[in-house]
Amino acid sequence: MSTVQTLNTTFDIWSALFSVILMLGVYLTHRYNPLQAKSLFGALLANTFLNVFEALAYIFRGNASDLGWWMVRISNFAVFLCNHLVLLFAAAFIVRTLERSETVISPMFKRAYNAAIFVGIALLALSRIFGFYYAFDEHNQYYRLNSYWLMVIILWGSMLALFALTLKHWRCFSRIERASFVTLEVMPIVTAIAQLFTYGISLTTFAGSTSLALMFIAYELECSREIVANERRMLDDVIGALAEAVDAKDTYTRGHSGRVAEYAKMLAKRLGLGREEAERIYRMALLHDVGKIGIPDAVLSKPGRLSKEEFGVISSHASLGGDILSKVETMPEFTVGARWHHERYDGHGYPDGISGDDIPLEARIICVADCYDAMTSDRVYRTHLSQDVVRKEIQENAGTQFDPDVARAMLEIMDEDKGYHLREHG
């Protein structure tokens, strides 16, 4: 073999081994996105055989033995076949990626694309009967016939159709997905043109393996996001169940935690915090009263006014809630809302008497949300306060009990709530 053939053979073997490793990775994570996994696994499997047969074509080219005669012919046929299969499975992967984002794909595209692939495979099978695409001499050397370009054009057409689909739905893909698809769809055409005077149209050798590796990375990232989303859903379920348990214990504040969480999220957004931060504050607010689990029912559910000793007992729910949630080491921020939502901006709150910006913003937000719900909810000893009275209380306590900026945000939300619907929220 020439030096170029030796290098190409070596690269093909390593590329085949690499595809096998990626296939193992897909197999291990297939349960998170099974439809995409099957498509990617199929593309990698076809790519493995493509590289193996391409290496065999180089190894046995010019080998006049019976084995060489068979291997050269089988390998040349298999290279084209595996190229078709790589594209078929890659197209399925792209379609699954779009379906994940709920994008509607024209059935006409699917039918036309599949038809082009299978026509190419049918022509390939006929080439073995009628001897077109490649010719072989008595030394088992092979060279291209003019009909060879028919197969190339079919492959190029399939890749360009995929490229058109990718461009049409460009915004539906992540950056790494775009890179992988464009590498698969465009680079092999450039490679083939550059190799007009060499043997074989090594589509995958130079571009296919790279694109499939990028697809694998994109797939793994998607699986990771799905795992995180599942874990977040599980966390939200646990937090929601715990919040309901707290509300169930205090029969006079049923639904309180959920309402406070909604108000806190509204305030966070009004203050310009991002979506993730607002969601985090929402979860913190759901658990702000978790310390009430440790308060005796006789005190917590007492219908009348509390004595000084009883108020001290119920006030301990803040520090108790902070202690409980401090055990959740992976979510240390949960402690903030539970421990400090009764701190006052002027420093006269509890349990630690901190003031101003020393009180975490999340706790200042939950404090306003908590007080708003307390004033706008019915209690056994009184009905809810009117919107004007609630507005006056928040306005007068801005800068003393409440952070002025958070209080101002709450007043803006109330001014937009012309029908006093927030009182009934949750």
- Residue holding tokens 């994008």? 103
418 is catalytic: no
Which residue is catalytic, options 292, 302, 327, 418? 292
Residue 138: phi, psi to the nearest 5? -70, -15
The one-letter amino acid code at 203 reads: L
Task: Locate 260 and state its tokens.
Answer: 């406070």
**What CA–CA distance (Å, rounded) separates 151 from 367?**
71
**What CA–CA distance (Å, rounded) separates 102 from 96?**
10
DSSP H helices, 137-255, are 148-168, 175-185, 187-194, 203, 209-249
**What CA–CA distance (Å, rounded) separates 105 from 111?**
11
Q: What is the helix (H) or strand (E) element at residue 136, kind and residue range?
A: strand 134-136
- Residue holding tokens 């053979």? 9
249-254, long-range: CB within 8 Å, 24+ apart, which pairs?
Answer: 249/292, 249/293, 249/297, 249/300, 250/289, 250/292, 250/300, 250/301, 251/301, 252/301, 252/303, 252/379, 252/380, 253/289, 253/377
Give me the active site residues, please.
Answer: 292
